[in-house]
Structure 1
Amino acid sequence: MPKQAKELKALQVKRLSEPGRHAVGGAPAGLSLNITDTGARSWIFRVTVGRNRRHIGLGPYPEVSLAEARERALEMKREISAGIDPVEERRVERAALAVEQRQRTTFEDAFERYYEEKVQGELKNAKHIKQWRSTLTTYAFPVIGDKAVASITVEDILAVLRPIWSTKNETASRVRQRIEAVLDWSKVMELREGENPARWKGNLQQILPSPNKVQKENRYPAVALDEIADWFRVLRTREGIAARALEFLTLTASRSGEVRGALWDEIDLANGIWTIPGERMKARREHRVPLSTAAVDLLANQPRLMDCPYVFASSKNGQMSDMTISAVMRRIQAAEEKEGRPGFLDTRSRRPAVPHGLRSSFRDWAAERTNYPRDMAEMALAHNVGSAVERA
């Protein structure tokens, strides 16, 4: 006969403190209080179900009292006598609960959790954080926002992307990447199963046109190469800080945000170098811009405002808005049209040029009017060149 454990009272159980499993005796047999090395306590019921030995958790102590633990153990003994396996029953219940949760969690629900836990936790740029929400709110939520994240298919993703893939390809590509990230997270959280329908390689790649080909047709409108000198002369007749910022942008082939956020501390006029820190670059890497004589002269003549770190400050001594620089180009175009001239139009789309298109103008100039290697032009634009190993 196996040795019967001595039946403990509630006060005796309360005094137990040694790590290990302590049998508490009484009915039913097999009930123990488990104490971990950290002092955490919980009930374990050891019982035989058919030919299998089960160790079943009955909850933490003291939330579950000795009397409650014995009652739960007795109830399980009754279930086992009736042919029910409590462990298997729990597994089925958990699986059913997981299915219910997957069916109940919509794409928008999953996004909100991912946004809070990952996007806001990892991204530092407030503009990029805002873009995550705005792009999915605009393009994804109207189509798949209310759909269970577990049931989203390739057709659903195509319903989001196809209306904007050709006309707004850069935005569409970012929407696809963000949907893919949310669905990857959902799979790890066991909210969905199977392949990610928003994956590009080997999936949407076989259905949608390549972004590189589409974006070439839908790039930002640029000033034509044969007209860039005339455009620049017109720009130089314009007064104001915004016009000088646009002039500096043209001379450095930089992005609007990099110019608008330029600080005097980043500029070495003596050596003609503008060092943009990684946190202000799209690629998140430091970028050194060699300044031409014209760019150095522009900066040398640019007044420095007291207690303002920006090279091109707003009227309130803060950072200039993107619309301020764009407005200069629009006014130039309007003045040209008022004089009966077509203005400065992109050679492909015949749309009026915009500030970001000046980078395309620079790239065309480097390719068609100079002998500089392609990689040098790409590096000047702060684009990735070569493989990750080559870049390192």
Structure 2
Amino acid sequence: MKSTQLNVKMIDRLKEPGKYSDGRNLYLQVGPNGSKSWLFIYRRMGSDRMRGLGSYRHVSLDEAREKAAEYRALLRQGIEPPVARGAVKKKEEGRTFAQLNERYLSEHKDSWRDPDKAESLWRNSLRDHAYAILGEKDVKDIDVKDVHAVLSPIWLTKHPTAKKIRWRIGAVLAYAAALDLRPDVDLTRTGGKLDKLLPKAKRVHIVKGHDSMPYQQMPEFVPELRGRVGVAAAALDFLILTAARAKEVRLATWDQIDFKEAVWNAPEENMKAGRAHRVPLSPDAIAVLKAMPRDRDGDYIFISASKPGEPLSDMAMTAVLKRMDRKDGVTIHGFRSTFRTWVAEECLDVPREIAEAALAHTVGGVEGAYQRGDYFNTRRALMERWAAYCRSAEQ
């Protein structure tokens, strides 16, 4: 971007494509084909924005300076400059909510953890609940009544889903505003008009956690589980013994296991907190691993029966519970709660931070800023106690 005050002779001689500054937010843009047009460029909310002031053939240098002065005056009053009538019009395609959502996903998904899954959940939620009202609507025409129409049918009945959809709609509209495709107004903000239209969901909706098995049942349940044949049953046994999440177990590979030190080095990309986690392996957990077939280094430990070489599916371990005729609603993730409750009630000598570290929970605040260790040796003793408790009915 060339910076100098312009004059008519200079403008007539300019041939090289680029933007040439006249100072005070006014620029002359020279296109690849030699075309020349005026731009007013300013900064707002941390990003550059521009307004076209027309072609140099129709708008003189003095007229462009006069218009730029008007726009600067508007900015001093906190008013966004309008798109001038003589400006180069933006392309009309790509202005619907559905189109902007796809653009947003393509530009942001790679920064998310597990981008393919996150993208699918994001797209499907908006397609199922928002597209009927917002999908084909120009983003500049979407108002709070439209957002309310999307959310009100599910605000009380599917409140967690509705909250996610509210946030996602807000993100797409903010993205559109950053592209100057709609007013920079946050329709979904907390405390705004939308909150006045929607009922107080917290008074009628109780957030339900993952159903967990009472820890007292584990000594009977684990031997029954170990009596079943199959990779999914072994994966569930390993999940229980390590208090890990299902994704971490499904994506575990042989090269993450240090048999000599009895450690599972779970990489950051598999962890919810985005931080690598060392898991001490009890003799029971090592026994599960050694019983698994192993073809070569680097493969997944728990391989899908229907897709050789691929990890277990999301529902494989849940299917094991169904085959065991569990009708109490216990979930796979609930076994982490079972472990945490057992520690709280049966291991009174174990500090809270040890139990939280075993679950790979991130400690926040001042405590998190100063705590750098992972209590590994103490956690090893805890996991061995947990394994012994899970098989105590066998003794």
**CA separation in 2, counterparts of 1:223 and 1:368?**
14
RMSD over aligned Cα atoms = 4.3
Structure 2 partner of 1:223:
213
Shift of the 75–266 alpha-carbon distance from structure 1 to 2, 3 Å rule, reads closer
Amino acid at match of 1:332: M
SS at match of 2:206: helix
Give the TM-score, by structure 1 length: 0.67
1:280 Cα offset (Å): 1.2
Amino acid at match of 2:104: Y
Structure 2 partner of 1:119:
109
**CA separation in 2, counterparts of 1:323 and 1:317?**
17
Structure 1 partner of 2:289:
299
SS at match of 2:84: helix
Unaligned runs of 5+ in 2: 37-54, 72-80, 371-395
What pairs with 1:27-46 in structure 2 (closer than 5 Å)? 32-35=11-14, 39-40=16-17
**CA separation in 2, counterparts of 1:192 and 1:75?**
27
Question: Quick check: 1:260–1:312 contact (8 Å CA) kept in 2?
Answer: yes
Unaligned runs of 5+ in 1: 1-18, 25-30, 46-54, 66-71, 334-342, 346-351
**CA separation in 1, counterparts of 2:360 and 2:194?**
28
Question: Quick check: 1:165–1:172 contact (8 Å CA) kept in 2?
Answer: yes
Shift of the 196–257 alpha-carbon distance from structure 1 to 2, 3 Å rule, reads same
1:192 Cα offset (Å): 2.8
Question: Quick check: 2:21–2:27 contact (8 Å CA) kept in 1?
Answer: yes
Shift of the 192–313 alpha-carbon distance from structure 1 to 2, 3 Å rule, reads same
Q: Does 1:386 align with 2:364?
A: yes
Shift of the 41–248 alpha-carbon distance from structure 1 to 2, 3 Å rule, reads closer
**CA separation in 2, counterparts of 1:104 and 1:251?**
51
Question: Quick check: 1:35–1:42 contact (8 Å CA) kept in 2?
Answer: no
1:294 Cα offset (Å): 1.7
Amino acid at match of 1:233: P
What pairs with 1:77-156 in structure 2 (closer than 5 Å)? 94=84, 105-120=95-110, 125-156=115-146
Shift of the 161–391 alpha-carbon distance from structure 1 to 2, 3 Å rule, reads farther
Q: Does 1:359 align with 2:330?
A: no
1:142 Cα offset (Å): 2.7
SS at match of 1:214: coil
In our comparison, the structure showing a higher alpha carbon Rg is: 1
Match of residue 249, structure 2, among 255, 259, 266: 259
Structure 2 partner of 1:27:
none
Amino acid at match of 2:206: V
**CA separation in 2, counterparts of 1:75 and 1:278?**
58
Structure 2 partner of 1:13:
none
What percent of counterpart residues are identical?
33
Shift of the 32–210 alpha-carbon distance from structure 1 to 2, 3 Å rule, reads same
Structure 2 partner of 1:8:
none
**CA separation in 1, counterparts of 2:5 and 2:241?**
74
Question: Quick check: 1:249–1:256 contact (8 Å CA) kept in 2?
Answer: yes
Match of residue 314, structure 2, among 291, 314, 322: 322
Q: Does 1:369 align with 2:361?
A: no
**CA separation in 1, counterparts of 2:330 and 2:280?**
25
**CA separation in 2, counterparts of 1:262 and 1:41?**
52
**CA separation in 2, counterparts of 1:201 and 1:382?**
34
How many residue pairs align between the two structures?
Answer: 328
Shift of the 269–101 alpha-carbon distance from structure 1 to 2, 3 Å rule, reads same
Shift of the 172–102 alpha-carbon distance from structure 1 to 2, 3 Å rule, reads farther
Structure 2 partner of 1:246:
236
1:330 Cα offset (Å): 0.7
